[in-house]
C-alpha cells in the first residue's frame, strides 16, 4: 500500500515552555487531519522541554524531534522548512494550542479554493497569575486580529501582516520564491515573512472556524521582554530596512499598501523606542540603519501625513545628527512624560472609587492631564 501524502507539515519551535508544551503537542497530535508531520525543534531549552519532546516522539512516528543550540525561532523554523515534505506548511507556537479540526478546515479551504495562503481566526488567552489562571476576554487583541487585519487583507492580499502561526502556506510557493525567516530579526519576523508571502501568493483565503488559541503569558514569553531592549529595537530597525528594500525591489507594488506598510514599521519602531533605554553604542547602530532606510523610502509625503503624530521623529530621520539629538535628548523626555501620564491615570482611577477624594483631587489631577498633554504635543 503506498504511503499517504503528507498534507501539512507543522513546525513548532520550542524554548523553555515545559508548563505549556504538553497541551500544545496533544492538540496537534489529536488533529482530525491525520496525514501530517510535526517538527518539534528545541531551541536550546534549559527546562524539561526536550524531555517532553522525546517522550511524545517515541509514541507517534509523525513527530520529528530536533534539538539545537539556542539560535532563535527563525533558525528553528528554517530547519523545519528545509526538511518539510507537506503540501502546505503550518506553524504553531509552543505555548499555544488549536482546535481538533483546525488544520483540516484550513487544508480543505486551501485545496478547494486553490489558495497559496489560508488564514484562521484567533482566540487570545491572558495568563493572569503564576498558578495559570487565564482570561478569555482579551477583546481588543482578538478584534484587531480577527476584524481589523482580516478586513485589510480582504481589501488587498498585500495587506496581510498577521502572525505566521495563524495560517498555512503552500510549500511550493515558499520554495519557488526562496522564502525563509531572517535569522537576524528576532522580533518582528512575522512582518517580514508575511510581507514576502503576500506578494508572491496567488490568493489569501479565510476560515471563520475552527480556532487558534494564542497565549499572552504573564511572565512575558521570550519576545515580550526582548521587545523592550536595545537588541529588540535593533530587530525592529532591521524590519524597517528589509521592508523598504523589498518594497522597492518588486514591480508594480500597490502605492497605498506601500505607504501603509512603511508607516506601520516606522510607527511600531517609534512606539518601542519611547519605552526603551538605549546606550550610546546601540543608538549609533540604530541610526546607521534608520537614516539610510528613510532616505530610500518612496512616497515620503504620504507616509509623513500618516505619521504626523510623530512629526519630530520623522523630521529627525533626515540626517544622522538630527536623529542622534532626537534619540539622546527628546526620547528620554518623552519617556518621563509617558510615565507621568501613566501615574496620573492610576491616581485618577483610584480616586474615582472615593467620592470625597474625587471631589477634592479631581481639579489638580485634571490640571496634570492638561500639562501632560501639552508636553506630549511639544515633544511629538
Listing DSSP states for 301-333 in one string gives HHHHHHTGGGHHHHHHTTSHHHHHHIIIIIHHH
Distance between CA atoms of residues 50 and 40, nearest Å: 9
Question: Residue 285 half-sphere exposure, CB side, CA atoms within 13 Å?
Answer: 14
Distance between CA atoms of residues 270 and 238, nearest Å: 13
C-alpha cell at 114: 486553490
Single out the residue of 19, 363, 375, 376 nearest to residue 219, CA to CA.
19
Listing DSSP states for 39-100 in one string gives EEEEES-SSSHHHHHHHHHHH-TTEEEEEE-S--HHHHHHHHHHH--SSEEEE--TT-EE-T
Distance of CA 54 to the CA centre of its chain: 29
- CA 263 vs CA 189, 238, 244: distances in Å: 17, 15, 11
Q: What is the pLDDT along the chain (380 residues), one digit of tens a residue?
A: 557 799 999 999 999 999 999 999 999 999 999 999 999 999 999 999 999 999 999 999 999 999 999 999 999 999 999 999 999 999 999 999 999 999 999 999 999 999 999 999 898 877 654 443 344 445 676 777 788 888 888 889 999 887 899 999 999 999 999 999 999 998 899 999 999 999 999 999 999 887 899 987 655 444 456 778 999 999 999 999 999 999 999 988 999 999 999 999 999 999 999 999 999 999 999 999 999 999 999 999 999 999 988 889 999 999 999 999 999 999 998 887 767 667 766 666 666 666 666 666 566 655 556 655 555 555 55
Distance between CA atoms of residues 160 and 198, nearest Å: 6
Tell whether domain 8-219 is in CATH 3.40.980.10.
Answer: no
Residue 86, phi then psi, degrees to nearest 5:
-70, 160
Amino acid at each position: 500500500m503506498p504511503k499517504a501524502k503528507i498534507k501539512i507539515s507543522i513546525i513548532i519551535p520550542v524554548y523553555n515552555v515545559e508548563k505549556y508544551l504538553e497541551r500544545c503537542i496533544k492538540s496537534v497530535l489529536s488533529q482530525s487531519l491525520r496525514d501530517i508531520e510535526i517538527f518539534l525543534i528545541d531551541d536550546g531549552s534549559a527546562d524539561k522541554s526536550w524531555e517532553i519532546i522525546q517522550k511524545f516522539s517515541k509514541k507517534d512516528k509523525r513527530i520529528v524531534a530536533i534539538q539545537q543550540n539556542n539560535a532563535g525561532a527563525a533558525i528553528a523554523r528554517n530547519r523545519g522548512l528545509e526538511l518539510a515534505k507537506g503540501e502546505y506548511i503550518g506553524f504553531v507556537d509552543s505555548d499555544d494550542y488549536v482546535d481538533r479540526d483546525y488544520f483540516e478546515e484550513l487544508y480543505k479551504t486551501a485545496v478547494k479554493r486553490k489558495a497559496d495562503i489560508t488564514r484562521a481566526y484567533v482566540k487570545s488567552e491572558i495568563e493572569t497569575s503564576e498558578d495559570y489562571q487565564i482570561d478569555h476576554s482579551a477583546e481588543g487583541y482578538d478584534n484587531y486580529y480577527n476584524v481589523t487585519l482580516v478586513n485589510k487583507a480582504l481589501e488587498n492580499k498585500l495587506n496581510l501582516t498577521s502572525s505566521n502561526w495563524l495560517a498555512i502556506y503552500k510549500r511550493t510557493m515558499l520554495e519557488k520564491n526562496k522564502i525563509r525567516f531572517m535569522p537576524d530579526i528576532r522580533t518582528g519576523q512575522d512582518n517580514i515573512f508575511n510581507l514576502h508571502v503576500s506578494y508572491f501568493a496567488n490568493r489569501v483565503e479565510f476560515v471563520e472556524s475552527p480556532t487558534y488559541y494564542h497565549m499572552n503569558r504573564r511572565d512575558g514569553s521570550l519576545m515580550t521582554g526582548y521587545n523592550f531592549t536595545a537588541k529588540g529595537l535593533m530587530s525592529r530597525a532591521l524590519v524597517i530596512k528589509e521592508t523598504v528594500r523589498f518594497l522597492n525591489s518588486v514591480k508594480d507594488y500597490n502605492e497605498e499598501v506601500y505607504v501603509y506598510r512603511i508607516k506601520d514599521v516606522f510607527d511600531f519602531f517609534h512606539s518601542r523606542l519611547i519605552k526603551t533605554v538605549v546606550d550610546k553604542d546601540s543608538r549609533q547602530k540604530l541610526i546607521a540603519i534608520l537614516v539610510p532606510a528613510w532616505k530610500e523610502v518612496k512616497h515620503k509625503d504620504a507616509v509623513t501625513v500618516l505619521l504626523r503624530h510623530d512629526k519630530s521623529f520623522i523630521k529627525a530621520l533626515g540626517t544622522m545628527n538630527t536623529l542622534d539629538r532626537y534619540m539622546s535628548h527628546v526620547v528620554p523626555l518623552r519617556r518621563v512624560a509617558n510615565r507621568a501620564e501613566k501615574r496620573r491615570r492610576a491616581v485618577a482611577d483610584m480616586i474615582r472609587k472615593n467620592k470625597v477624594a474625587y471631589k477634592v483631587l479631581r481639579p489638580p489631577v485634571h490640571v496634570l492631564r492638561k500639562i501632560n498633554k501639552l508636553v506630549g504635543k511639544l515633544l511629538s
